Amino acid sequence: MAHSSDKQPVHLKRRPVLALMAASLAVPLRAQTAWPDKPLRIVVPFVPGGPPDTVSRLILPKLSELLGQPIIVDNRGGAGGNIGSQIVAKAPPDGNTILITSSAFAVNTNFPESGYNAERDFIPVTIVANQPNVIISHPSLPVRSIPELLAAARATPMAFATPGSGTTPHLT
């Protein structure tokens, strides 16, 4: 004698089993703690007071409030940002050590001695701010536009300064 359940397609018999398996896989997920489960460490690879540090200190109080965890700013200046970047690259991959840097990061990764590989050691999260590069001069220089500056530079050799070798103002 055939039972009505024997006439059900095989895929209908598997559904309860698959649902039970899926539910059992979700149990370990509930056991995980929410991130972050401890204070975050934000490494700024420059000295206090510079643009990355200032931006960090402006946004982190609200981020701390949203995450429900304290956030510690750890300024590790030196080597054009490489020291702080190396610290984050070598930190445990638990998501609790984060780098807030400048465009110098993109430049420095091109140098083998930077001590990290940007593609392997980091994952981009977001752009926090845009910082313009500006050209300024002493008021005694009689130029008020780029064409005037170029004409003056062609007529008389000039000196210029940037925040440092390899920085985006230096390269542009």
> SS3 for 96-156, per residue?
CEEECCCCHHHHHCCCHHHCCCHHHHCCCCCCCCCCCCCCCCCCCCCCCCHHHHHHHHHHC
**pLDDT, tens digit (0-9, with 9 covering 90-100), for 42-68:** 999 999 998 899 999 999 999 999 999
SS3 content of the chain, % helix, strand, coil (to 5): 45, 10, 45
Enter the DSSP assignment of 168.
Answer: H
* C-alpha span between 75 and 43 (Å, rounded): 6
Is residue 96 predicted with pLDDT exceeding 60?
A: yes
Residues of the chain with CATH 3.40.190.150: 40-121
56 contact partners, CB below 8 Å, separation of at least 6: 42, 44, 73, 100
Nearest to 109 by CA among 79, 65, 147, 75: 79
**pLDDT, tens digit (0-9, with 9 covering 90-100), for 10-35:** 555 666 655 555 555 665 555 567 88
Q: Which of 22-26, 93-97, 162-166 has the highest mean pLDDT?
A: 93-97
Q: pLDDT value at position 57?
A: 94
* C-alpha span between 163 and 7 (Å, rounded): 79
Q: pLDDT value at position 7?
A: 59
- The pTM (predicted TM-score) of the whole model is 0.68
Enter the DSSP assignment of 34.
Answer: P
E strands, 13-101, in order: 40-44, 71-75, 97-99
Nearest to 164 by CA among 108, 85, 98, 84: 108
Q: pLDDT value at position 140?
A: 92
- Indicate the class that CATH gives domain 40-121: alpha beta
The whole-number average pLDDT for the span 131-137 is: 83
Percent share of the chain, pLDDT over 90: 48
Neighbours of 155 (CB within 10 A): 8
